[in-house]
Structure 1
Amino acid sequence: MIQINQLSKKYKGAEDFSVKELTLKVEEGQIYGLLGPNGAGKTTLISMLTSLLKPTSGSFSINGLNFKEHKNQLKQLMGIVPQEYALYPTLTAYENLYYFGSMYGIKSEILKKSINGHLDIMGLSKFANKKTATFSGGMKRRVNLIAGILHQPKVLFLDEPTVGVDVQSKNVIIDHLKLLNQQGTTIVYTSHHLNEAEIFCTRVAIIDRGEIVIKGIPSELIKNQTGANSLEDVFLAQTGKALRDYA
């Protein structure tokens, strides 16, 4: 589904590459976790794959479509759920979703049915006509997710989809993502919640300083790492325990 070849990104004025000659393959139907410390290059990588950033060098294709030749077609088959809330606070949940759904070109009656169905699944039906400015963090996360999946994307990119939410909201989000995956959506996911990633992802790649340091099936990575009992142990063994604050 996704083939990345020697992909690199160096920001203007930066001394180092944020992503450096990264090569990775994501098969159709996988839930692929991109894990790494702060500043490892996860968001930069997703931003390139979703055409929000232009690579410095290298290439990638999604569903057989090259990013240089088929940019518009690629945008149509992918969904994006960013780390920051991509919602208009003065609009209601329904108004936000109708606006974003209209941008995908979904016919009105189909869109209305889809919005109502997703709001119901996410436990938000009774808040449909409330402004999102009044919503809790978990509620905003759920609306944010719906906005990225209304058009039934073939590939869904998630950047920290459960950050800062309550346990109940996290469970609803993860369960719905599993359902989408079972229905055929390939998922690429970043998170700092390693326990969540260990259970949720079919494969993971740990990225540090813009490069992949290890990748594979979570259970196998744990088994092959000396002294590891969890994916978090593998993560710390591969990236170290030093703080990664950056500005």
Structure 2
Amino acid sequence: MAEYLRQEELSEVDKLKFLKAVEILSSAVRAQGNGNMNDYYPLTILTKKIEELILQESTESLTSSVRQQAMLAVVALSQVKPAFHETEKLGLASAGIYSVFSLPLITPSPDWKDTASLYLQTVQALDEMLQALVMEDMNPNMLMLQNFLEIVLPWLTLSEKVQEQTRALHTISRLLRFICKFPQLSHMMEFSMSGKLMGILCLFCMDPNQEVSPEASEALHYLFKILVLQRSKCYELGL
């Protein structure tokens, strides 16, 4: 793995080998219980390399599984010590979102089924990476969610491309659905953009496009669910 870290340019095969090595090492460190990735390779260096690999992927077409495997490597690293710094989380999230959202619309072609399958797997990997990065210890960090939403929302509100809007709404919906599973949320009181998010989602619920409005409605459903659950929690605690 050290050899891959030293090289600025890697072939696709070497990129995949490096990312697989990161996953294997992460599993080994995790199995130790009190293991630390920094005892083997500095997490900061691994994180920077993975972010670079994501950003090096073409946004003109999707023909490689490198960005997918890079995001899954981040998930693996999130399960070991030390934890990512906030700046590292934001850098990885920004890279993943840009790399996936910028892809062109998948159009019918001789190999479109393979491309569509690879795209769906890549989107799933992005969802899993963001879910892993939003966690703080055992609970979702709502301030980190807010930071991620600030990255995602311009793709929804400023873009004129339907595929970018639907991708943004999908990501928001999946993050909110994931957070609904947890009764305890860190920094919920500091989550200050619920009203803004609710207003944006309500507007897109009325969008005439039949791809946009259902995604917005689903995201709004999960946002309401989080707010109701947390209000009930505050009531129980007498807050």
TM-score w.r.t. length of structure 2:
0.32
Q: Which has the higher helix share?
A: 2
Higher RCO, 1 or 2 (CA under 8 Å, sep at least 6)? 1
Q: Which has the higher strand share?
A: 1
